[in-house]
Each structure stands twice: as C-alpha cells, then as structure tokens.
Structure 1
Amino acid sequence: MDIRQLRTFHRVASLGSFTRAAAELNYAQSSVTAQIKSLEASLGSELFERVAGKVKLTPAGTRLLPYAGQLLSLAHEARGVASPDAQPEGLLTIGTMESITSYRMPTVLEYFHHRYPRLQISLRPSLCAETLHALRQGVFDAGFLMEAETQHSGVHSEVLGVEPLLIVAAPGHRLADAAKVDTDELRSESVLAPEAGCAYRELFEAELNDGTGEPVPFLEFGNVEAIKRGVGAGLGISLLPRMTVADELAAGSLVPLAWEPPFELYTQLAWRKGSALSRERQVFVEQVIDFLSHEYQEL
C-alpha cells in the first residue's frame, strides 16, 4: 500500500467513477484499475463493488476511506514541512452548492487560478447533509454549508456571514405591491423549490406547515435557474438566496415580496475536526474566509 494507490482510491471513492478519477489524475483508466486491484490484493479485501452500474464502496472500503484521507493529509503536510517555500499544488476537493458555486466562487477561483496555478480546486455539488458526511469521512477537503446551525459534530465550521433570503414572484403577482406579506397569505400559493435537503427550503416548508394540519405542496424544480424561470413564468413563488436573483430584480423580471423570514441562515466553510490543515487547505481556507467574509460584511 503506497500513497499513490491511496490517492487513486480516494479519488474513485469521491467521484464514484473509475473513468472520472482517471481523467482527474491524468492516468489511463487501466492504470487506475491496476492500482485499485493492487491495493485490494495488499489489504486482502475488495474495496469497490458495482451496483446498478454504479461504483460503490464495500464495507471494507468505507472503513478505509477516512484513514486514506488522513494519510493523504499527512503526506501533504510532510511535503510542506520539507519544502516550506514551495507553491501549493495538487488537488483540493470542495463540497459546495449551486448558489455558492455560481454566485460566490467565481472571483475566488479566478484568484486561485492566477495566484496558485499548480493548485487544482474541484467543486463537488452536494447537499449540506452530504457535505458533512463527506467531510467526516475525509472525502472532501473542505465544504460549504448553508445552515441555521453553526455547530456540527466532527466538523469545524467558520461562519462567513448571514445569507439574505427573500421571496420572489413574477411582476404583477397579487402580493407584489403589498407593504407587508403575512405567512398565512403565502399558504395558498404554489411554491417552487429546490430538492429536499436544502436548508432554506426545509425551514420555509416548516414555517408554512406550522399549525396548519395540512402540508403545503412544494413543486420541486431541481436547480435555481429552473426555479427562476418558473417563477418568472407565473408558476408560483419561491424563497431563494438574494444573491441568486439580484440580476432579475435589477431587470424587473422578478419582484420581491415583503415577507420577512423568521429564521436566519449562515453560510459557513467547514473542514474535518482534528485533522491538521495541509499547506494547500490552509491557503484555501484563509483566502475563502478573506474573500467571502468581506462580501457578507458589505451586504
């Protein structure tokens, strides 16, 4: 068992694909397969199985994964100690969500592209619960959360700021000109929402269903862009992070409703508790906090 095999195992486990892992690592797929088979032979256990055409970890692979993450982190740290003046390099896998990827990260990624060209940042779409699990398992190096809670078992999180939320509707909506909108007035509306597991959807759903006896139906539209198009077409209303609808509000294609959310959502950067930050992760954490904390302070 060597570091190269563990890195390959870690990438296949993270991506759920031998083909994608080979592309990321710049290996031939046959090389990835050979490394995994060699690692399995040295351990005497199968690490992956195919279920319904997908690659999944076996129980042995699941047990190995957090240790592989720790060993790779130590290897990064050791290289940093031995070569303190070397530029950060390698691959960082970051769990994130559509709104952060599309509306917060472009300037950060541009900075890393020019300042640290040998450091590759791979953004993995993930719901917050999935991100937390992947961080605890060592699959993600860091991850973004958008949650009401700021303390998470096994994970250290740094609050970047309160994420402003608002309800949007099509121009001409019956509540568009109301000076104040009550929750009761929203219960009769069709609500467009991202998939279950999204924190602001769940908080909004709980608020609408509170004490009503009947759950308010939500129309799942999958992603923010689809939701905005549906709202603009008059299919219903939606609660979204303000950053995702700033352009549409400025253009007048969507309008905000005067409803004040009775909850707050905190955008956070998180990483596994107890793991030493490699030079690469340290640079990423410091720069993201610097970039995004300033953005939230200006809101």
Structure 2
Amino acid sequence: MELRLLATFEKVAEVLSFTRAAAELGYAQSSVTGQIRTLETSLGTELFERLGGRIRLTEAGERLLPYARRMAELAEEARAAVAAGEPAGTITIGTMESLTTYRLPPLLEYVHHRHPAVRLALRPTLGDATRQALRQGTYDLGFLMEAGTEHEGLESEVLAPEPLALIASPGHPLAGREGLVTADLAGGGLIGTEPGCAYRDLFEAELAGAAAGGPGSAPGPDFLEFGTIEASKRAVASGLGIALLPRIAVQEELASGALVALDWEAPFTLFTQLAWRRGKRLPAHVRLFVEQARRLARE
C-alpha cells in the first residue's frame, strides 16, 4: 500500500467528503476518487459506502483507519529521524476561546517566529469534542481546561491551574458585598458561555445544588447564553447579570474598573492541560511545541 493512498484515505475518513478532502489536500476531486478506488482495488474491498451525496466508512474502512494513522505517524517519525535542520510540519491543535485568545498568544508567536516551517492549525472545540478528536487522531494535540486531569485514552500534562473570577458591573447589587455564598448568586442574573464549557457546567451544577440543598439535586438555573467570552463580558458590563470566567480573560477590565470581581470563591479548581493520544509517537515538530508549552507555563 502506498503511503500517498493511505494519506488520502485518512483525510477522506476524517472529513467524510471527497470534495472537502480534495480541497484540503490540494488535489482535483477526480484524483481523490481515483486514489480511493485504487486503494480499494488493491485491498479487494470497499472502504466507503456511497449514500447519495454522503459517504461513511464501511467496516473494512473502520478497521483500516487506525493502521493508516499509525503508518503516517511512523513515516513522519522516519523523516524526522533522518532529516537535518529546522523542524517542519503541521500541528493540528484543538483549543478553546479563552485559551486561544488570552493564554496561548506568547506560545503561538514564539513558534511562528522561531520555527516558521512549523504550521499551526487551531481548531476551536470544547473539552469533550477535543478529547474525541484526539482519540480519533483528527488532532495532534489538544488544550483542555478541566477539573479532572485523567482522560481515557489520552496522555495529558497539567500546565497550570486556571484561576476563575465571578464578575459583575460596578453597579450590580452584589458588587461590594462581602462573604457571598452560592445561594446569594441565583437572583443576580446569570450570563454564560455555551454548555459544555467546563467552568460553565461546574458553576451551573453548584448553583443547582445550592438551590436544592445538595449538589446536582435540582435542574440547572437559567442562563442568558452569549456564546463567547467577549460577548459575555459585554453583557455583564451592561448590567445584565454576573458571569464566571477565567481571570486571565477579564484582568484588563478588572484593572480598569469596567468590571469588578465579586467576593465569592469557586469551590472547584480547573487546570489548563495539554493532551495527545496515548501511545502516539510525537514527531519532532510536535515535541518542540510541547516543550515550548512546558517552558512558558513555568515562567
């Protein structure tokens, strides 16, 4: 089996579209279709079911996919082992808005300027989706912000604890009150990012537990969902409610007085982590990125 054919198969299996795979690989669609047919002929079996305008992997395709990924990783490792000079290659990274915008710029800038042959492809996803993409091999690395640090099928490294801040506008009724407890917060108006975000989900569970006298024993409270951190900050500044966000995302507004931190401490701790598939051999350019992430986390 040719590595070129396996690479094309892996891309089609990832995006489940011949058209999109051709665009991402820089091939004509007819070339991608021809390569898949050549691979199927050499193996004596169909790898994709054609369902009108959609495709999906056959059982044979599902069995081949992990081997195709392992062979691609071995080929990359072999190239890195004999190549001299500057590390090169693409790193597909799953991350989330708060980290991409506020935590990662120094790391991204360092790699971009010091190692221009390393291409970074950032994919915005939340924790569950990032973990699934890592297990499937769609992502090379993933940044997580979670309370748990053990993830099935993944290696993970804690880079740093991620402080949180419960924020409000200076004129909010809770601003300036001391010794707030969770039960005090429900009537303050709640602003949230989308469900699936670890700090939003943990905050919601804490509020529900306080309302019913025990963690998780009542339906979650109602949030006004603004999706992004920037939209949530604007909503809070406008007096629409309070929001729990990573402190790094609001430190400028807290310093300027546009927002205030309420006197409430989250009863949970989140950790920013870097993860990859367990057993995956990290090629040189990916190892370089991991080492720089560790170094910057220590500074």
TM-score, normalised with respect to structure 1:
0.88
Measure how far apart 1:202 and its partner are. 1.2
* Structure-2 residue corresponding to 1:224: 229
Measure how far apart 1:190 and its partner are. 2.2
Contact in 1 for aligned 2:149/2:158 (Cα 8 Å)? yes
Letter in 1 for 2:146: E
Q: 3-state DSSP class of the match of 2:276?
A: strand
User: Is residue 286 of structure 1 aligned with residue 299 of structure 2?
Assistant: no
* Structure-2 residue corresponding to 1:166: 165
Q: Which has the larger radius of gyration?
A: 2
CA distance in 2, matches of 1:277, 1:71: 13
User: Is residue 80 of structure 1 aligned with residue 80 of structure 2?
Assistant: yes
Measure how far apart 1:55 and its partner are. 6.6
After superposition, where does 1:244-263 map in structure 2 within 5 Å? 244-263=249-268
* Structure-2 residue corresponding to 1:133: 132
* Structure-2 residue corresponding to 1:297: none
* Structure-1 residue corresponding to 2:215: none
CA distance in 2, matches of 1:102, 1:17: 31
* Structure-1 residue corresponding to 2:270: 265
Contact in 2 for aligned 1:65/1:138 (Cα 8 Å)? no
How many residue pairs match? The answer is 292
- What do residues 237-284 of structure 1 show as CA deviations (whole Å, max 9, x unaligned)? 111101111222223222111110000001100111112221122111
- What do residues 189-215 of structure 1 show as CA deviations (whole Å, max 9, x unaligned)? 321212211111111111101151453
CA distance in 1, matches of 2:277, 2:291: 16
Measure how far apart 1:166 and its partner are. 0.9
User: Is residue 103 of structure 1 aligned with residue 108 of structure 2?
Assistant: no
Measure how far apart 1:116 and its partner are. 1.5
- What do residues 125-163 of structure 1 show as CA deviations (whole Å, max 9, x unaligned)? 111111111111111111111111111121111100100
Unaligned runs of 5+ in 1: 295-299
Unaligned runs of 5+ in 2: 213-217
280-289 vs 25-34, which moves further? 25-34
After superposition, where does 1:122-201 map in structure 2 within 5 Å? 122-201=121-200
* Structure-1 residue corresponding to 2:118: 119
Q: 3-state DSSP class of the match of 1:275?
A: coil
Identity of aligned residues (%): 53
Q: In 2 relative to 1, CA 274–232 (structure 1 residues): closer, same or farther, beyond 3 Å?
A: same
Measure how far apart 1:79 and its partner are. 0.8
Q: In 2 relative to 1, CA 104–39 (structure 1 residues): closer, same or farther, beyond 3 Å?
A: farther
CA distance in 2, matches of 1:198, 1:237: 16
Measure how far apart 1:105 and its partner are. 1.9
Letter in 2 for 1:148: A
CA distance in 1, matches of 2:234, 2:34: 47
CA distance in 1, matches of 2:121, 2:155: 20
Measure how far apart 1:21 and its partner are. 4.5
User: Is residue 68 of structure 1 aligned with residue 73 of structure 2?
Assistant: no
Q: 3-state DSSP class of the match of 2:188?
A: coil
Contact in 1 for aligned 2:48/2:55 (Cα 8 Å)? no
